[in-house]
């Protein structure tokens, strides 16, 4: 299954903040339920990095009064595209120990955020369906 099939889930989790936004604004965005990551964009909408709740908390004690999102964000993003296979994206998330991964479309513009729990739920449902179909086939019910 391709990530684009999960568009309703991934687009609902998408939060984009401008690189020039204040940290207070970013914290407000990340405090929304179910949001663990915001994609940081440049003026043209191209993704420049990501800012997670963990990034904010990790740097909270060391923050300078005029610290910017640009100093806290992760520039070397791990991301996927809508045409990537969900299984592959899930493996990348597990290997890199990340819970949220931005989905970037054309011109590196964010179109969603893949949550590892959503990915795991869909993969599990696919396996259950295949198991059910195989059991029906073996029992002679058909497929």
Q: Which residues contact 12 (CB under 8 A, 6 or more apart)?
A: none
pLDDT of 116 reads 93
Question: Is residue 15 a contact partner of residue 30, using CB atoms and an 8 Å limit?
Answer: yes
pLDDT digits (tens, 9 = 90+) for 101-141: 999 998 999 999 999 999 999 988 877 667 767 777 776 77
pTM: 0.78
Question: How big is the chain by its Cα radius of gyration, in Å?
Answer: 18
Residue 143 has pLDDT above 60, yes or no: no
Q: Could you give the C-alpha distances from 21 to 57, 94, 125, in angstroms and in order?
A: 17, 30, 39
104 or 58: whose pLDDT is higher?
104
3-state SS of the chain: helix, strand, coil percent to 5?
50, 20, 30
Domains, the chain, in order of start with CATH, read 3-115 (3.10.580.10)
């Amino acid at each position: 299954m391709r990530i684009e099939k999960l568009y309703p889930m991934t687009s609902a989790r998408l939060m984009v903040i401008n690189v020039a936004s204040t940290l207070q604004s970013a914290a407000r965005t990340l405090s929304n339920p179910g949001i663990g990551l915001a994609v940081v964009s440049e003026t043209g909408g191209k993704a420049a990095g990501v800012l997670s709740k963990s990034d904010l908390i990790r740097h909270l004690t060391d923050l300078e009064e005029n610290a910017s999102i640009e100093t806290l964000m992760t520039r070397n993003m791990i991301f996927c595209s809508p045409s990537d296979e969900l299984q592959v994206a899930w493996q990348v998330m597990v290997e890199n120990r990340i819970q949220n991964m931005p989905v970037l479309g054309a011109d590196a513009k964010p179109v969603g955020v893949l949550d590892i729990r959503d990915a795991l739920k869909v993969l599990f449902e696919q396996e259950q369906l295949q198991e059910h179909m195989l059991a029906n086939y073996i029992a002679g019910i058909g497929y």
